[in-house]
Structure 1
Amino acid sequence: MDREEVEALVFDYDGTLSPIGSEAGVSRELLDILNLLKNMYKLIVASTRDCRFLMEKIGFFDAFVCSNGLEAIIGDVVVHKKGVLQIERTKKLEELKKMADEECLKVEEKMSLDGKLIGLGISWRRCGEKPNCIDEIIREAIRGELVIEWYQRPFVEVYVDKAGKMEGLKIANAILNIERFAYFGDSESDLESLKNASISVFVRNSYNSHLNPPTTYTVNEGELSSFLAKKFAR
């Protein structure tokens, strides 16, 4: 592979750059190779995590597509979907958060840069079975015209507006003048971006055995650093 084939490397975060559920973040080995690649490509992250979280973990990246495309930081430019500004929707999300009151639930708040709640990620992996409150939350989300993103695992996300990583990535590519990019992802929320990438890399981990998207490469999660060094760091 000629590294000049693409101008940017775009990564999902959880399950790609960092193990799912890990508080440790990106490994030192992977950070080292990413810092090397920054001299050759634009580095972009496209994640369901919020911007503050991503900037704290990988602040040296060139662009951050956050909260499943609802908000993005591209150099000195900040963009967001209209729904982020609709206070009644953020208030409804606050109500749903209170409903997720089972101790076994793991609730991730997705905050906008100005401090509003714009998304929730709710995992019941530790619960054994799906708590009744999940169905109640979904019913209320539908009633409040919020956007629900389902996954083929014990996890669901609710957002104030419809977006998607590829939608935010198109804006980042336009601002950064990127025509060809490589995309690295592991979940349902990455499928559209993988399909649109010049080079697509599916990252296999213990949570995505149900997925087999047609991609240029498939790499095991623990081998991403060596794959990047071999294929892109030339």
Structure 2
Amino acid sequence: MGGDGRLALLFDYDGTLSPVDAPREKAYPSMELLRVLEGLAEKYIVGVVTSKDYWFMKGRAGFASVLGLVSGLEAVMGSFVFTVREAFEAGEVDLRGLWEKASGTGSLYVEEKKSISGSLLST
């Protein structure tokens, strides 16, 4: 539930709201689905949770009042923006140590993502 008592509906983007096999530049919800989502947004808090970054989602999820981006590394709710990187930089978590440990496995691919402010979230 949202703070105003409305139920929140959160949807995955890739393969749920957009076709799973669509090329990145064509990964948009259908017009019919957009109409349904816009209707839901009139009654509920509608959000999108995705591995994509803000700049990819900006023109694709106008119906959403909440975006959980980059697999949780960034959250946007109206004018409030939270990035995990800022929490790491504040000394709450050792981002560099986690990165070095994960990248040393040889089986890791990390796509570059930028936050709403344009700063790099991951490389």
Answer yes or no: same fold by TM over 0.5. yes
Match of 1:26 in 2: 29
Q: Which runs of 4+ in 1 moved over 3 A?
A: 83-86
1:148-200 deviations in Å (ceiling 9; x for gaps): xxxxxxxxxxxxxxxxxxxxxxxxxxxxxxxxxxxxxxxxxxxxxxxxxxxxx
1:54-85 deviations in Å (ceiling 9; x for gaps): 12211231111101111111122111112377
Match of 1:83 in 2: 88
Structure 2: runs of 5+ lacking an equivalent: 1-5, 104-109
Q: Tell whether the 8 Å contact from 1:67 to 1:119 is kept in structure 2 after alignment.
A: no
Using the alignment, how far apart are the partners of 1:26 and 1:84 within structure 2?
35
Compute the displacement of 1:42 (Å).
0.6
Normalized against structure 2, the TM-score is what? 0.68
Q: 1:39 is paired with a residue of what secondary structure?
A: helix
Q: Tell whether the 8 Å contact from 1:70 to 1:84 is kept in structure 2 after alignment.
A: no
Match of 1:50 in 2: 53
Compute the displacement of 1:20 (Å).
2.4
Q: Tell whether the 8 Å contact from 2:37 to 2:63 is kept in structure 1 after alignment.
A: no
Code of the aligned partner of 1:65: G
Structure 1: runs of 5+ lacking an equivalent: 1-5, 97-106, 121-234
Compute the displacement of 1:111 (Å).
1.1
The structure with higher relative contact order (CA 8 Å, sep 6+) is: 1
Identity of aligned residues (%): 38
Structure richer in helix, relative to its length: 1
Match of 1:10 in 2: 10
Q: 1:65 is paired with a residue of what secondary structure?
A: strand
Using the alignment, how far apart are the partners of 1:14 and 1:119 within structure 2?
20
Normalized against structure 1, the TM-score is what? 0.38
Q: 1:79 is paired with a residue of what secondary structure?
A: strand
Rg (Cα) greater in structure: 1
Aligned length: 101
Compute the displacement of 1:113 (Å).
1.9
Match of 1:38 in 2: 41
Change in CA separation of 1:37 and 1:108 when aligned onto 2, cut-off 3 Å: same
Using the alignment, how far apart are the partners of 2:88 and 2:58 within structure 1?
22
